[in-house]
Amino acid sequence: MTNKAFSTSGLKLVFEEAAEEAVVRCTGQITAASCEMFQREIKLNLIPASRGKGVSVNSRIVLDLSKVTCIDDAGQAAITELREAGQKRGCAVKTLNFTSPWQKLMNMAGLDNMFAKIDARAARFSRSHKREALL
C-alpha cells in the first residue's frame, strides 16, 4: 500500500499492517472535528470490502488508543460504528491501551463489554508495512 497523508483537527493515524491484521496507532483527539476522517480512512483502507477466494484481507484491526488525549461523544460513536462495520465484514475491531479516563467513559456508557480489549503482548505486528495518515 502507498503512504497517504490527510490533515484535519488534531488526529494522527499510523497504520501497521501484517498478514490478516492491522494496528492503527492513534495520536491526538478523536472528536467531532476528526471522527469522519478517522472512520473513512479505516473503513476504506483496512476493513475488507469482500472475502473472495484467495483474497488477503484483514481479519482483525486493533485500535491503539494509548496516545489519544480526548474522545468525545462523536469519537465514541465513531469507534462503535467501526466495530459494527468490521463485524458485518467478518473483521474484528479491538481496542488496545484505553487510558483510564476513556475506559471509565466507556464503562459509564455501557460500551466496555462491547469491545474486545486485548493485551499489549497480543498486539505484535510486523512493522514492514507502515502507512501514515495525518488527520
2 assigned to some structural domain: no
59 assigned to some structural domain: yes
26: left (phi over 0), alpha (psi -120 to 50) or beta: beta
The answer to whether the Cα torsion of 99, 74, 70, 105 is positive or negative is negative
CATH number of the domain encompassing residue 26: 3.30.750.24
Query: According to the model, what pLDDT value does residue 82 have?
Result: 94
48 assigned to some structural domain: yes
6 assigned to some structural domain: no
106 assigned to some structural domain: yes
- Looking at the structure of the chain, the number of domains it has is 1
Summary mean pLDDT of the chain? 75
User: Which residue range forms the structural domain that includes residue 70?
Assistant: 11-134
20: left (phi over 0), alpha (psi -120 to 50) or beta: left
30 assigned to some structural domain: yes
pLDDT digits 0-9 by tens, 38-86: 999 999 988 887 655 555 577 899 999 989 988 888 998 999 999 999 9
